[in-house]
Amino acid sequence: MIKDLHQKLENKEISSEKLTGDFLDKIEKKDSQIKAYLEVFKEDALKQARKVDEKIAQGEKIGILEGIPCALKDNLCLQGKKVSAASKILENYVAPYDGTVIAKLKKAGAVFLGRTNMDEFAMGSSTENSAFGPTHNPFDLERVPGGSSGGSAASVAGDLAVWALGSDTGGSIRQPASFCGLVGLKPTYGRVSRHGLLAMASSYDQIGPLTKTVEDSAIILDAISGKDEKDNTVVDKKENFFQNLKPELKGKKIGVVKEFFGAGLEKSVQENLQKKLDWAQSQGAVLEEIELPYLKYSMAVYYLMITSEVSSNLARFDGVRYGFSESVLPDSISQNIEDGYFNSRGLGFGPEVQRRIILGTYCLSAGYYDAYYKKAQKIRQLIKRDFQKAFEKVDVIFSPTTPTTAFRLGEKSSDPLQMYLSDIYTVSANVAMIPAISLPCGWEKKEGRNLPVGMQLLGRWWGEQELLNIALALEDK
């Protein structure tokens, strides 16, 4: 899609201003129902588009992303624009600088349509935890788009943006991609800079694209990856993913974990996945059953570690330096400071954020750090070792992305454990820090609506090229 639009811009079949204007019109007409956007940058977007049109008019060559409209998750810093992480505590906070991925995209000439809704501080699997109300799934407005990058996914699925950026801490790109019939890519931890991403869990967070095609994901990954001196976890492994993109399936070994297809997986989802596996085998792929003995501990490790890191990262939001503040009149100065902290955090953070801060603070408290966080770190290493052994035998690992198709709004919001289980197939990639991609894999009919089914491929560390190539071969045409 991006490549086709780029060629049309170059050939002057369309203008970037017209393309951007068309998306802005769609947002105005449709987003009151979908609610993908928290803010639309109408004038800025049109101004960006006109600059691209001027370059084309002057005969200058444009980059592949130049003049192409996109959406940004509301936890990415764009200088001069609000960035709230969909939280009341940062409702009016304006980013003082560009995050690294934003700076790279500005250099590439991308047009930013606006910032999209999300679960507060990326904590959730449905985009119902936003302080500004839920986003709706474009395929069925009574259902969730997934989370936490639900606004970004809904903007692309609803034709309100060509592509969008999200962040993935435990499946927050891949799960909404599955629910919205998109391609969602989580790169290897350290492939893309996190500078300018409002942190949830620093050893898990990773920025990635939500697109309509595998090809588009390769184009975006090219633009946003690479070394960054502002993030010392980033490795300088710049590659040409789009240029080297080619379908690869024959002779490729696809690992299948038996436990992934057990209890809890919806029958229609399993049927669609099996059809895809059968087709892959007919095209020359080799299916191999593999074992990942420590995988069953992924969810426990994930929630122990991310809540601990959440507790640490969100300690800075105290209502003093920036963001929402709810102070009280003092009986004494010290009492006022303490009450100010409690009031600001109690009123500024939503229930899910508070729940995770409390859990994480407990895990890190004296006497419990060794029993919980430290032990979880050790099990994380064992899970990584499982994947290392698996990738000695296979090229990629195949799994469902989610156990079900998109569920109804409100269906799981009163049961946090059921909500957490929405990410049961995705968290292991973040625990092991490996790349993973979700792509469409058929449809399920529910209550008269066709809902997308997603499949997931897990790849070896820094193996995005092979992952994209196999995904391209498996992509629904």
- The residues assigned a catalytic role are 73, 148, 172
Please enumerate in sequence order all residues whose Cβ is within 8 A of that of 13, keeping only pairs 6 or more positions apart, or say none. Answer: none
Amino acid identity of 224?
I
Taking the C-alpha atoms of residue 291 and residue 271, their distance in angstroms, rounded to an integer, is 22
Nearest to 200 by CA among 352, 381, 82, 93: 352
Tokens of 149: 């990058």
Taking the C-alpha atoms of residue 228 and residue 100, their distance in angstroms, rounded to an integer, is 8
Taking the C-alpha atoms of residue 128 and residue 120, their distance in angstroms, rounded to an integer, is 9
Between the CA of residue 333 and those of 53, 147, 322, 343, what are the distances in Å?
58, 41, 20, 15
